[in-house]
Amino acid sequence: MATHEKLNYVEFGTFDISSTKCFFETVFGWAFTDYGPEYTAFSNQGLDGGFFKAERASTTANGGALLVFYSADIRQTLSKVEDAGGNVNKPIFEFPGGCRFHFIEPGGNEFAVWSEKE
């Protein structure tokens, strides 16, 4: 349900829609709805959104926003990310309140995963 003036949808560019879809289906169990060969959407993941075919992707190095997943078992999630072809660009590190790691999915976008404990 959409809420007035609250974040509702996010879109990402991706170098490879097929690889991006496969990665998120494998690691996080996402389902997608395709809208032609250059756009796919996801929903019911905490925030709805989509991926569009692009020459660039979102990373913190180029000023992109960082979306962060929560995990009750960060080591297990890290293994799933690596097994599915994600590139861990910042290994697990601690911060006040927990720990996290960053990764680049096969389509080029950077995300992070955090947990309250390692």
Q: Tell me the average pLDDT across 12-26.
A: 97
Q: State phi, psi for 72 to the nearest 5 degrees.
A: -80, -20
**Percent of the chain whose predicted confidence (pLDDT) is above 90:** 95
Sheet with 87-95: list strands edge to edge.
67-70, 110-115, 98-104, 87-95
Output the pLDDT for position 117. 78
pTM tops 0.75: yes
Q: pLDDT digit string (tens) for 99-111?
A: 999 999 999 999 9
Question: At 63, is the secondary structure helix, strand, or coil?
Answer: coil
Whether residue 68 is predicted with pLDDT greater than 80 in this model: the reply is: yes
pLDDT(51) > 80: yes
